[in-house]
Amino acid sequence: MTEMTNLSNEPSLETLHEWDRVHQLHPWAAMDDWRGYDNMMVDTAEGIYMWDASGKKFIDGPAGMWCTQIGYGRKDMADAIAAQVMKLPYTSPFSNATEPSAVLAKKIADMAPGDLNNVFFTTGGSTAVDTALRTMMYYFNRRGMPEKKMILAREKGYHGSTYLAHSVTGKERDKSHFDHASHMVHFLPDVNPYRRAEGQSVEAFCDEKVADLENAIATIGADKIGAFIAEPVLSSGGVIVPAPGYHKRTWEVCKANDILYISDEVVTGFGRLGHWFASEDLFDIVPDMITCAKGLTSGYLPLGACIIADHVLEAISNLGEPSSYTNGYTYSGHPVCCVAALKNIEIFESEGILEHVREVSPHFQKRLKALEKFDIVGDARGMGLLGCIEGKAEDLEAERTLGAKIDEACEARGLIVRPLINMAVFSPPLIITLEQIDEMFDIIEDALAEVQKDVNG
């Protein structure tokens, strides 16, 4: 406890930074230095732009954390949220239903592919993934197959930070010193075509990645494996778009082995790739479960969902012995968050945001690919309004330095990018116009030219 502070006196920026440093532990804080640096104090935002507390303007390149799809400052969203707060801010989802959560569940079921008709609301992406994995365990327990629980996940995949969601996350540098349920997870090797062997075709690389899955099943045994979890495009792992055909073939392998396929669409869902969901529309698969969050409310309020197929729930319902689905949260189906999601979907529909993404994405991807002209860029890749450049350097230390330099040079020019070691990620709000895409890439080109000059001496 510290002494009571009078919050009615507006604290100075310096004071705010001090309180933040001293009292707030941020996600992924560097524990050897966490009181030694200040995060940017973000003050306001409008459209695709945000301003820091000193008044400097930035393009929000990552759209918050791949989530502010409809952009900032939407009064219609604020009004909808305020109205629901006054009408009914909360009721228990354990015993009651509400109009916003019922309407939203129906809407999501209509958008989702195949027989994915059952929506379980969560508080975000991690809890959606946790729910999917726990549902898999419940499913095989109820089917009398308690040994069938192992989870196949992939190197470089990111699925969140509950115990289970973090356990299936395959980003090596995120493993740190937390414990994980390692005995329950098997990781398949990197699916990044950029990392394929010299001289290997993308088709042969795809064969190899499918074989990785088949070999894991042969070694562990299909009777021991409950689920395969995969992002359609691995996002935090560096915007990795797997080889054409990879998803369809791995999904077929899972089906043939009674392994539940969980498609983690926390980033790719809600318009990032120009569709409500990418699984079926872009990759021709109908998963057993889909997880989503982020773009579901455009980040205005926290909400996630695990969408479960009818055939999964039917197999474990009405089995003649009492059993409850003991999974859930105080804030499952929160009415105010559901209203935010409904307003978000309404804005998508009335403003044609999915169509807009499909229209501007080719230009975005063309400008992204053109960044490969810089020697320091090893690869520029992406899909939809999702992109990443991977910097080329000799070793990890040099890669870190390069990534930090690109980040700083962009920030100095008024563009936020999401640095991931030697990579910089771009996933702007989906309302970005063609002119704003050019504004963003002009800044990146200018920043890369400066960093290249600096690196090459």
Ligand X SMILES: Cc1ncc(COP(=O)(O)O)c(C=O)c1O
Please pick, from the candidates 155, 212, 264, 399, the single residue that binds ligand X as defined by CB under 6 A.
264
Helix residue ranges, H only, 168-245: 202-220
Q: Which two tokens stand for residue 226?
A: 């409950």
Please pick, from the candidates 260, 267, 353, 388, the single residue that binds ligand X as defined by CB under 6 A.
267
Closest to ligand X by CB, 328 or 414? 328
Span interacting with ligand X, options 43-51, 155-163, 206-214, 340-348, rule CB under 6 A: 155-163
Closest to ligand X by CB, 192 or 443? 192
Pairing of strands 150-154, 185-188: parallel
Please pick, from the candidates 63, 227, 239, 266, the single residue that binds ligand X as defined by CB under 6 A.
266
Residues from 278 through 297 that contact ligand X (CB under 6 A)? 293
Span interacting with ligand X, options 157-165, 207-215, 380-388, 424-432, rule CB under 6 A: 157-165
**Binding string, 103-122, against ligand X, x = CB under 6 A?**
--------------------
Closest to ligand X by CB, 293 or 409? 293
DSSP letter for each residue of 246-295: HHHHHHHHHHHTT-EEEEE-TTTTTTTTSSS-SHHHHH----SEEEE-GG
**Burial environment of residue 2 by CB neighbours within 10 A (0 to 12, 13 to 18, 19 or more):** exposed
369: Cβ–Cβ under 8 A, 6 or more apart, which residues? 380
Q: Which two tokens stand for residue 1?
A: 């406890």
241 binds ligand X, rule: CB under 6 A: no
Span interacting with ligand X, options 229-237, 253-261, 371-379, 420-428, rule CB under 6 A: 229-237
Please pick, from the candidates 74, 156, 159, 356, the single residue that binds ligand X as defined by CB under 6 A.
159
Cα–Cα distance between 128 and 122 in angstroms, integer?
Answer: 6
129 binds ligand X, rule: CB under 6 A: yes
155 binds ligand X, rule: CB under 6 A: no
Cα–Cα distance between 386 and 282 in angstroms, integer?
Answer: 14
160 binds ligand X, rule: CB under 6 A: yes
In Å, the largest CA–CA distance within the chain is 74
Cα–Cα distance between 371 and 381 in angstroms, integer?
Answer: 10
Q: Which two tokens stand for residue 175?
A: 């493993």
126 binds ligand X, rule: CB under 6 A: yes
Shortest Å, Cβ 235 to ligand X: 5
Binding site for ligand X (CB under 6 A): 65, 124-126, 129, 158-160, 231, 235-236, 264, 266-267, 293
